[in-house]
Amino acid sequence: MTWCWTIPDQPGPGSILRPPLLDCKHMRAIVPTCGDWAEARETIEGLLACRPRPAEIVLVNDNAEPGVPDWVRLLPIRLVDYAGNRGAAAARNAGAWVRSARPVEWLYFTDGACRRDPSFFAELADASMAMDRATVAIGGPVEGVVESIARTPINAYMTEEAILCPPTDAFGPQAIITANAAVSVAAFQAVGGFCQAFPGAGGEDLDLGLRLRLLGPIGWASRAIVAHSFKECARDFDLRFQRYGAGTARLAARLGLGSLQCGGILAARPGLQWLADRQVSAMARGYRAFEVNHGSWPAPFSPPPSGTRPHNPENLATRPTKSVIVCE
């Protein structure tokens, strides 16, 4: 792994909250989908096969076009449906804030085209037991689905370079990656959820993670692994890293930092250096595009006061969501 990074000038983790222990009986999994119904189905069927599995699985329809496939109504999941495409941050918030008759204490965020072993949540819970009681979120590895270097070079590159692992410092993870992250409801509510000023899938999870860590540490479950099937498509690869570049630029402006542009990357495997160079180039294009079109953020965020407490730690019933239909 050669693409390791740290977001500079960030405080260490706080110790404001004491979330409940992670328990699938009080967990909601949230899967947003936009243009990838088959990938969403793959993820959801994998979640349903887990033992134990989350008490609720929520699919959020963030597609611009109305309508859902028939299979959605046949599975034991909840559907959050609204008009239009609002972006990844808004979709995840909609899934998090939806009302529930049962107490929900932890949220599990993941993406389409994500596979996991049936024992995934047992591994996650076991790892959480050894963590600091103030832990407000837990991340885990995200790896590509590798057949061979020749057949699946992008999946191999994403795995070997640990692209979807969060930035770290001496205290551990600084943030989360929403392909594989559990977040305490109390902490999520205390920071107000995802910032919807991040329009696409890029940077919004880092921003949330940084705010969460002001309340408590972020843990790492090394054996709770998600296998993400990345498209073996150069255009998709470029668009992904342009989003990441723009999201990183937006994050730097939001934090009031200097440049967070990605420098050169020396790939762990020389035969994949062409993808490392392509990543750097695509991220630079996205970064420049944000700077040209936006330039600055209104003001950096500040740590919450020491007396901060969640508004509703028992469940997620108090946050209104306009124009949203929830189907059981």
- Looking up tokens 């009031």, which residue turns up? 256
Q: What is the pLDDT of residues 186-219, one digit of tens each?
A: 999 999 999 999 988 899 999 999 999 999 999 9
State the pLDDT at residue 237: 98
Per-residue pLDDT tens digits for 121-166: 999 999 999 999 999 999 999 999 999 999 999 999 999 999 999 9
Q: What does the block give as tokens for 324?
A: 């949203």
Tell me how far apart the alpha carbons of residues 113 and 304 are, in angstroms, rounded to a whole number.
36
By DSSP bridging, strand 137-139 and strand 78-82 are unpaired
CA dist., res. 324 & res. 147, Å (int) = 40
In the numeric block, the tokens 């296998």 are attached to 227
pLDDT tens across 11-53, in order? 999 999 999 999 999 999 999 999 899 999 999 999 999 999 9
Q: What pTM, to 2 d.p., does this model score?
A: 0.90
CA 23 → CA 121, 134, 240, 253, distances in Å? 9, 16, 33, 37
Q: Distance between CA atoms of 22 and 219, rounded to whole angstroms?
A: 12
218-252 burial code (b ≥16 CB/10 A, e <16) = bbbbeebbbbbbbebeeeebbebbbbbbbbbbbbb
Interval 114-119 mean pLDDT = 98
The domains of the chain, with CATH numbers, are 21-232 (3.90.550.60), 233-297 (no CATH)
**Is the peptide bond between 298 and the residue preceding it cis, with omega within 30 degrees of 0?**
no
Q: Beta strands 27-33 and 142-144: pairing type?
A: unpaired
Rounded alpha-carbon distances, angstroms, from residue 159 to 2, 116, 177, 287: 11, 15, 14, 23
∠ CA 165-220-153, nearest 5°, is: 30
Is pLDDT at 300 greater than 80 in this prediction?
no
3-state secondary structure string across 236-305: HHHHHHHHHHHHHHHHHHHHCCCCCCCCCCCCCCHHHHHHHHHHHHHHHHHHHHHHHHCCCCCCCCCCCC
Q: Is it the case that residue 239 has pLDDT exceeding 90?
A: yes
Q: Is the dihedral of CA 200, 205, 207, 208 positive or negative?
A: positive
